[in-house]
Structure 1
Amino acid sequence: MALTVIRFSHAGAEPAWGVLFGDKVAPLSTRFATTGELIERGMEEARALRVEDAVYKRAELSILSPVTTNQQFLCQGLNYRCHVRESGMDPAKLPFNTLFTKAPSSITAAYGGIIRPNHVRLLDYELELGVVVGRHINGPVRVDQGNLHQYAAALTIVNDISARDVQLPQAQFYKGKSYRTFAPVGPYLLFPTVEEWRRLGELHLRLLVNRDVRQDSYCREMIYRPEQTLTELSSIHDMAPGDLLATGTPAGCAAKAPSSKVLLWALKALMSERRKWAVFLKAQLRNPRYLQPGDEMTASIRTDDGLLDLGEQRHQILQGQERRQ
């Protein structure tokens, strides 16, 4: 049975780690400073804790991101066939894995506020399965479904918040996705068993804005599975325990390609870059699906039988420098 670990603060104390048992939490005796330290040195104690060790009620705790900001934040784009199609492309003609990074300082908790910077008008959401690295990878390795559990430790929820009016016209994935609070992570780290790692395709991703369902898909729609991506990343650079891989988002984002093929051809062939993006932005500003201050957003990832449950995120969109915890 999967182990559920949370990072929390109790009564304003320093962050701590614990194991979740229903609505109660059993704390670990050591306050590991980072996610990597927890994975390397804390899992034996975490697995030994029992429900009778749970001394805190979950409701009395402040739940923090279970991935700390010292870790690498690696991302995949265009990794769900349905999302590739809504972006105006053919999945069969996309023969590469799109990889990029977000600033770890964009990580925020699973509950609270997401700040829309004052200059951003097109704020979008991207619900994603997060895979947390479980060991040092200092050279090329071959990861497959059978040994994924040896390289990945845990799963979590990630929402890859994106300022489309920065990301797309400026061709700046990092800049458009790395503002502070643009990466809600958690609320938990779910540590599956060896057998449960084989169920990743059954995980059901669901995101709502003001109770309107926006994203509703399964992880089996991924083009490049986590084991394939970890194999490719290992050929490029090192990874460490606690590093986070966000595995891409399914269909349902606010941003979509023009539905008219004639308009799409005109944008590509007839207009200057500046004019093309001016037309795009003007059209997108009429799209009511972008996040607005005051919007309430919830997101969850779980199997339909509930045996693998990564919890639920809840956020309100805030304007400018306002921040609510």
Structure 2
Amino acid sequence: MALHVLHYLHHGRAQWGVVANGTITPIPGEFKTTAEFIEANPVERLFVLSGPTIPESEVQWLSPVTANQQFICQGANYRQHMIESGMDPDVKKFNMIFTKATSCIVPADSPVVKPNEVQFLDYEIELGLVLKRDVTSREIVTDDNLHDYIAGAVIVNDYSARDIQIPQMQFYKGKSYRTFGPVGPYLCLLAKQDIPKLKELVLTLTVNGTVRQNDSTAGLVYGPAETLTEISAIHDLRAGDLLATGTPSGCALSIPSPEKMRAAAQLPEAEKWRLFLKMQEERPQYLRVGDVVEANIVSNDRSIDLGVQHNVVMEQAA
């Protein structure tokens, strides 16, 4: 059975606790990082946790992934998102991997600050997976042993400055502005029997109450097991690290058709990107100051409910 954990601030002290029915049972101990918390608290032990509770309404949310962990992301990883981006998911032969700066990580109810130089601010709801242990060599991860590698799941919103990311070809820069990575509210710790539910989670994102994204993790092109296998052959991973698995269709970003992209390839660089930016100007879906973005991820049986992220778009202070 899945177990929902909150990292929170109460009376000036950062704590971790098990959440159920709007109340928190504090977990004894001091854990400054996600890695320390996961390594000290097997989900089986937390199932029998008891003690005094506090109302969740009395605490301040913190991110369940701390800023010392790696923030690794997958791009173009849902079938419909690939199709709307002009790609064929059946012929894609590579897993797009990039990173975000961990300084962009904020709690799930934080405002997202729209930088003054950014015109096209986009949203991307994603399932985030938190690693259970260190991986320091090439390993073969399968659906059968995935529970040995994944501690739990969180909501991630991969906010993106499309006018930086695309024309400058700067994924890291365009996605790493401060506040561009809300995580949580809950870290859902998973037992072995919960792992199959990762393939049936429903992701929903709204802007000002209107649904923009709604899809299931059944649409993932590269799943967690094959992704972790691939990454383990490249670099080290640590307990508590975050893997954001990609976003479904419905983003504000508009990609030219393959025919238009081939035609644009013949144009001078400046003209090509002028036309791209003009196309984006016609998209009312891009976020504006005052917009309210909410994101939720839940399993079909509701045993996994990662809570609701609530972000208000704010203007950058002068």
Shorter chain as denominator, the TM-score bin is over 0.9
Deviations 1:273-306 (A, max 9, x none): 2211111112211210001000001000001321
Indicate if the aligned counterparts of 2:110 and 2:179 stay in contact, CA closer than 8 A. Answer: no
Q: Which residue of 2 aligns with 1:47?
A: 47
1:165 and 1:68 mapped to 2: Cα distance? 28
1:262 offset after TM fit, Å? 4.4
Aligned to 2:262: 265
For residues 84-104 of structure 1, the C-alpha deviation after alignment (integer angstroms, 9 at most, x for no partner) is 111111112320000010001
Contact 1:88 1:256 in 2 (8 A): no
Mapped to 2, the partners of 1:298 and 1:6 lie a distance apart of 18
What residue is the counterpart of 1:248 in the other structure? 246
8 A Cα contact 1:21 1:54, kept in partner: no
Of the three residues 285, 300, 310, the one matched with 2:296 is 300
Partners of 1:204 and 1:216 within 8 A in 2: yes
- Provide TM-score, normalisation by structure 2: 0.97
**Which residue type is aligned with residue 155 of structure 1?**
A
Asked if 1 retains the 8 angstrom alpha-carbon contact of 2:159 and 2:181, the reply is yes
Query: Counterpart of 1:298 in structure 2: which amino acid?
Result: E
Moved more, 277-286 or 125-134: 277-286
Mapping for residues 46-195 of structure 1, pairs under 5 Å: 46-50=46-50, 53-195=51-193
Find the counterpart in structure 2 of residue 205 from structure 1. 203
Q: Which moved more, 1:168-177 or 1:270-279?
A: 270-279
Q: Partner of 1:275: helix, strand, or coil?
A: helix
| Cα distance per residue 1:201-242 (max 9 Å; x no partner) | 110000000111000000010000001101101000111110
- Separation in 2, partners of 1:162, 1:308: 27
Quote the residue 1:22 is aligned against.
21
1:36 aligns with 2:35: yes
1:84 is matched by which residue type in structure 2? M
Quote how far apart the aligned CAs of 1:55 are. Answer: 1.9
- 1:5: which partner in 2? 5
SS in 2 for 1:94: coil
SS of the residue aligned with 1:314? strand
- After TM superposition, the structure 1 stretch with the greater mean CA deviation from structure 2, 218-227 or 54-63, is 54-63
Secondary structure of 1:91's aligned partner: coil
Secondary structure, counterpart of 1:263 in structure 2: helix
| Structure 1 residue 45 displacement after superposition | 5.2
Taking the aligned partners of 2:259 and 2:310, their CA distance within structure 1 comes to 40
Aligned to 1:313: 309
- Percent identity reads 47
Structure 1 position 28, deviation (Å): 1.4
What amino acid maps onto 2:141 in structure 1? V
Q: Give RMSD over aligned pairs.
A: 1.3
- Aligned partners of 1:108 and 1:184 also within 8 Å: yes
Return the letter of the residue paired with 1:313.
Answer: Q
Three-state SS of the structure 2 residue aligned to 1:67 is coil
Q: Distance in 2 between matches of 1:124 and 1:78?
A: 15
Is the contact between residue 156 and residue 188 of structure 1 (CA under 8 Å) also seen in structure 2? yes
After TM superposition, the score normalised by the length of structure 1 is 0.95
Once residues 228 and 36 of structure 1 are traced to their aligned partners in structure 2, the CA distance between those partners, rounded to angstroms, is 23
Distance 1:266 1:93 in 2: 22
Aligned partner letter, 2:49 = L
Question: 1:32, 1:45 → 2: CA distance?
Answer: 16
Amino acid across the alignment from 2:247: T
How far apart are residue 42 of structure 1 and its match? Answer: 2.9
Contact 2:205 2:294 in 1 (8 A): yes
Amino acid in the other structure paired with 1:302: V
